[in-house]
Amino acid sequence: MIKLFLPGEYVKSIFHISPQTLKERGVKGIITDLDNTLVEWDRPSATPKLMEWFKEVKEQGIEVTIVSNNNEKRVKAFSDPLNIPFIYKARKPMGKAFLSAVKRMNLKKEEVVVIGDQLLTDVLGGNRNGFHTILVVPVASSDGLFTRFNRKVERRIMATLKRKGMIQWEE
Residues 25-39 have a mean pLDDT of 97
Residue 136 lies in a domain: yes
- The pLDDT assigned to 17 comes to 98
Residue 168 lies in a domain: no
Instruction: Enter the DSSP assignment of 165.
Output: T
Q: What is the CATH number of the domain that holds 70?
A: 3.40.50.1000
- Give Cα separations from 155 to 109, 124, 162 (angstroms): 28, 14, 10
- The pLDDT assigned to 112 comes to 98
How many domains in the chain? Answer: 1
Residue 48 lies in a domain: yes
Q: What tens digit of pLDDT does each residue of 70-117 get? A: 999 999 999 999 999 999 999 999 999 999 999 999 999 999 999 999
Q: Which domain holds residue 69?
A: 2-163
Residue 169 lies in a domain: no
Residue 46 lies in a domain: yes
Residue 79 lies in a domain: yes
Contacts of 132 (CB under 8 A, 6+ apart): 8, 9, 27, 112, 113, 114, 126
Instruction: Enter the DSSP assignment of 27.
Output: -
Residues 5-14 have a mean pLDDT of 95
Residue 159 burial (C-beta neighbours within 10 Å; 0-12, 13-18, 19+)? exposed
Q: What tens digit of pLDDT does each residue of 117-170 get? A: 999 999 999 999 999 999 999 998 766 666 777 878 888 988 888 888 888 766
